[in-house]
Amino acid sequence: MKIFIQKMLVPLICLFILVFVFLNANNWTEKLADFTLNDPEIYIPFSNEYVKKEDFLFVQNTKTFLPFSKGDLKNIYYTIVNNGWKEFTFYCPSEYTHCLEDVKEISNDQDLLTHLNNYVHPYNSVSSIKTDINESRSITVTIEYFYKEEQKKEINQKVNEIYNQIITSDMDDYTKILTIHDYIINHAKYDIERNNEGESTYHSYIAYGPLLEGFATCNGYTDAMALFLEKMNIPNFKVAKTPEKNEETEGHVWNAVFLNNQWLHLDLTWDDPVSSDGKDYLQHKYFLITTDQLEEADTTGEVIVTEHEFKKNIYPELKN
């Protein structure tokens, strides 16, 4: 009899458990869904070797990928690009009711994405950012980068070669920057073909152009200088003047450098002017100057320069 009861007890207990689970299935499913949506697991990829650790006034690295404002979203996008991640997924919490709308706005704001791109290492500069929004409030950002791996290897080898050739241990940072500034200008010309035709046989829009081919646009000059600044561990970022809608002026980009406890402008493009006589000229008019000095330089002379009219709310380190 005892054996019979023991044999029957196990199936009865199992039956009881099944009935209990069935009757409470809806509640458990809702709790599981709430857990999945409210506390999703976020996969953090490995950062590449070119991630910048320092923060800036306009954008900061974040370790919290649960946004509650546009500022949080901006920092998430910056962190994705700054770390060199090719794909990253985060989630909009239900408490942030306008999150999806704000993601759409930021992902479509090419002007903002351009400025965010200027705060990262040149090798983490993006050529395109794609944002996919899922009904489950998950956001997947997919990145394509400008620099190919083979290009980076060649450029790094050239940067090290140049640095070892022209920089000595007795130089201070100012002298090192001046020496590199002059070297790049003396070994590169502005790519007029790309400027006029929109395309060129040279990779002048990245550091490969000025350092290995001898031709550059403002992007190429700026990236090349930034690579040396990074090598010397000197804080820096790129500054861009982006044209407003219906504005005929062209965009421009140059370097911002932190030296002697202040942020200064450094524009190799304008220190390497295109001359009517075909001769090469080296200037220092835009070499490590303050914003006041930049504005004075742009308004002195017959031609008023507007290419340096940057947005000071996006680059607040450079306010007067």
Query: Checking DSSP bridges between strand 236-241 and strand 252-259, what pairing results, if any?
Result: antiparallel
**pTM given for the model:** 0.86
- Extended beta strands in 60-165, E state: 87-91, 126-133, 138-145
CA–CA dist 166, 179 (Å, integer): 7
Phi, psi of 311 (to 5 degrees): -85, 110
Q: Distance between CA atoms of 215 and 236, rounded to whole angstroms?
A: 23
The structure tokens listed for 153 are: 């290897």
Structure tokens at 84: 């060199």
Residue at 219: amino acid letter: N
Q: List per-residue pLDDT tens for the chain, 320 residues long.
A: 444 445 555 555 555 545 444 444 444 444 444 434 455 789 999 999 999 999 999 999 999 999 999 999 999 999 999 999 999 999 999 999 999 999 999 999 999 999 999 999 999 999 999 999 998 899 999 999 999 999 999 999 999 999 999 999 999 999 999 999 999 999 999 998 887 887 899 999 999 999 999 999 999 999 999 999 999 999 999 999 988 766 666 799 999 999 999 999 999 999 998 766 667 889 999 999 999 999 999 999 888 999 999 999 999 999 97
